[in-house]
Chain A
């Protein structure tokens, strides 16, 4: 129909064709594996650090009062801005990207844990106390399960931050991975390849969201009776 020039926006047919080509010569498989490996490591580290920061802040009120604004600020800072530092510290390699991923999602997770634990209904804790629970037992049996809905949505948010950081990082530095395949498409002015990778990124994001976090969330919501509106 020639409404616009084909190099401005690719047609669905060429996108699907490129997609199959990418799958056939295994570029896509290698790229997805590389990207997944990075995000799983990065997200795993940020889960650990985030939980540690969150729990420490809940435990020490002084830290909570003084650190919360800082954490909030760091969370709003797009993590790709850490890339120069990451390259300076780790060089142009995996560690730099993983660092950017980690720092992108750590603070969201930490903040979710802090707010989740602070918002636990005090009645639950009083009830547990009258039943002989104290100290760590209250923590393990009441505070943690009670804050789970909040914590899961924080984890989900952390995941989406991590995913964005991964793509940005890969587009700028990586030698393999989805972001890199996309950049190659750009360099070759092959918009159908760019589009194909975008589609893959959307599908992957949706899958993780629905299959992992969606299930976790709906499980919790069903238990708590939050689905009956």
Chain B
């Protein structure tokens, strides 16, 4: 058992009401498992990840990493954000070395390891560039390399590909899959993209909003390496999409005027119907 999320609640008082961002969330993640946390925006999935990372405090409950309670952020849980969060005053290579410098790795070892991981994300050519000279996708690759250098067992990813264009996103998803297969890390990946979740995860955890709770879990038992074009993948994604759609609708109803409804089943057919099978 690698990560245990035990009864985590997070609530804060706004003007008139108490908001439960997270309400008694329990989750167990095994070592080497790739878990995607899926949910509509505002369901507290990022908050949950931040609590696991130790960047935010929970109102109640505890996080355990290998039976040790998590208190505060640390290099044993590397994190990637939606923005690359690279430091513009450092060159790419120094950015990759940053985490190792903080944890006190010797200089030669640092350089060698940074180059190894830069190679893994195919950016050795840009090792002496400044951050502003890279594209969005390249920045995320560097951020991934930087996270990998920490040799942490756990990698936390907070919608790392959400801000990228769809082609770049696809390439990076495939590469993340490859890197996960190579490095065997425990990955907790937060996303609102169903296909992405099904493509990457061993297990997809769907969350509800208001209060933020775990609604259901899906084991994805498709062979790897997976491809987005795969029929089984699309089938599974549609199944999960149905689950998520209710949640999206619920959140949207909270936000929009009361006469709004989602157009009923225009795009997604019911996966249980047997249309055409009687012909």
Question: Which residues from 55 to 91 on chain B have a C-beta closer than 8 Å to any C-beta of chain A?
Answer: 55, 72-75, 77-79, 81, 83, 85, 87-90
- Which of the segments A13-21, A106-114, A127-135, A196-204 contacts the partner chain? A127-135
Question: Which residues from 27 to 74 on chain B have a C-beta closer than 8 Å to any C-beta of chain A?
Answer: 53-55, 72-74
Whether B131 is near chain A, meaning CB under 8 Å from some CB there, is yes
Residues of B within 8 A of A146 (CB): 87, 89
Whether B130 is near chain A, meaning CB under 8 Å from some CB there, is yes
Name A121's closest neighbour in chain B (CB-CB).
B85
Smallest beta-carbon distance B141→chain A, Å? 15
Q: In the bound complex, what is the Cα–Cα distance between A18 and B98 (angstroms)? A: 58
Q: In the bound complex, what is the Cα–Cα distance between A139 and B72 (angstroms)? A: 18
Whether A137 is near chain B, meaning CB under 8 Å from some CB there, is yes
A141/B85 in contact, CB under 8 A: no
B89/A132 in contact, CB under 8 A: no
Please, what's the 1-or-0 string for A89-124, where 1 marks a CB less than 8 Å from any CB in chain B?
A: 000000000000000000000000000000000011
Residues of B within 8 A of A142 (CB): 87
Name A138's closest neighbour in chain B (CB-CB).
B102
Residue picked from A128, A131, A141, A146, most chain B C-beta under 10 Å: A131
Instruction: Count contacts on A: residues with CB < 8 A to the other chain.
Output: 22
Question: Which residues from 145 to 200 on chain B have a C-beta closer than 8 Å to any C-beta of chain A?
Answer: 146, 150, 156
B133/A225 in contact, CB under 8 A: yes
Name B53's closest neighbour in chain A (CB-CB).
A130
Checking A124, A133, A222, A223 against B102 with a beta-carbon cut-off of 8 angstroms, the contacting residue is A133
Q: In the bound complex, what is the Cα–Cα distance between A80 and B133 (angstroms)? A: 46
Residues of B within 8 A of A224 (CB): 88-89, 130, 132
Residues of A within 8 A of B78 (CB): 130-131
Question: Which residues from 113 to 162 on chain B have a C-beta closer than 8 Å to any C-beta of chain A?
Answer: 130-133, 146, 150, 156
Residues of B within 8 A of A37 (CB): none
Q: With contacts A224-B132, A225-B130, A228-B132 known, is A131 near B103, CB below 8 A?
A: yes
Name B91's closest neighbour in chain A (CB-CB).
A223
Q: In the bound complex, what is the Cα–Cα distance between A130 and B70 (angstroms)? A: 12
Residues of B within 8 A of A129 (CB): 54-55, 72-73
Q: In the bound complex, what is the Cα–Cα distance between A145 and B90 (angstroms)? A: 9
Name B76's closest neighbour in chain A (CB-CB).
A132
B83/A141 in contact, CB under 8 A: no
B87/A225 in contact, CB under 8 A: no
Q: With contacts A141-B98, A224-B88 known, is A123 near B150, CB below 8 A?
A: no
B88/A127 in contact, CB under 8 A: no
Whether B101 is near chain A, meaning CB under 8 Å from some CB there, is yes
Residues of B within 8 A of A123 (CB): 81, 83, 85
Smallest beta-carbon distance A93→chain B, Å? 43
Whether A49 is near chain B, meaning CB under 8 Å from some CB there, is no
Checking B81, B103, B146 against A132 with a beta-carbon cut-off of 8 angstroms, the contacting residue is B103
Whether B211 is near chain A, meaning CB under 8 Å from some CB there, is no
Smallest beta-carbon distance A20→chain B, Å? 46
Smallest beta-carbon distance A33→chain B, Å? 36
Q: In the bound complex, what is the Cα–Cα distance between A133 and B130 (angstroms)? A: 22
Please, what's the 1-or-0 string for A137-158, where 1 marks a CB less than 8 Å from any CB in chain B?
A: 1000110011010000000000
Q: With contacts A224-B132, A225-B133 known, is A141 near B102, CB below 8 A?
A: yes
Name A130's closest neighbour in chain B (CB-CB).
B79
Q: In the bound complex, what is the Cα–Cα distance between A145 and B88 (angstroms)? A: 9
Q: In the bound complex, what is the Cα–Cα distance between A185 and B98 (angstroms)? A: 59
Residues of B within 8 A of A137 (CB): 102
Q: In the bound complex, what is the Cα–Cα distance between A136 and B99 (angstroms)? A: 15
20 extra A-B contacts, CB within 8 A, seeds A128-B98, A130-B79 = A123-B83, A123-B85, A124-B85, A127-B79, A127-B81, A130-B55, A130-B74, A130-B75, A131-B103, A132-B73, A132-B74, A132-B102, A132-B103, A133-B102, A137-B102, A222-B130, A223-B130, A224-B88, A224-B132, A225-B131
9 A-B contacts (beta carbon < 8 Å): A127-B85, A129-B54, A129-B55, A130-B75, A130-B77, A132-B74, A137-B102, A145-B87, A223-B88
Closest 8 CB pairs of A and B: A225-B132, A132-B75, A131-B99, A127-B85, A130-B79, A129-B73, A133-B102, A145-B89
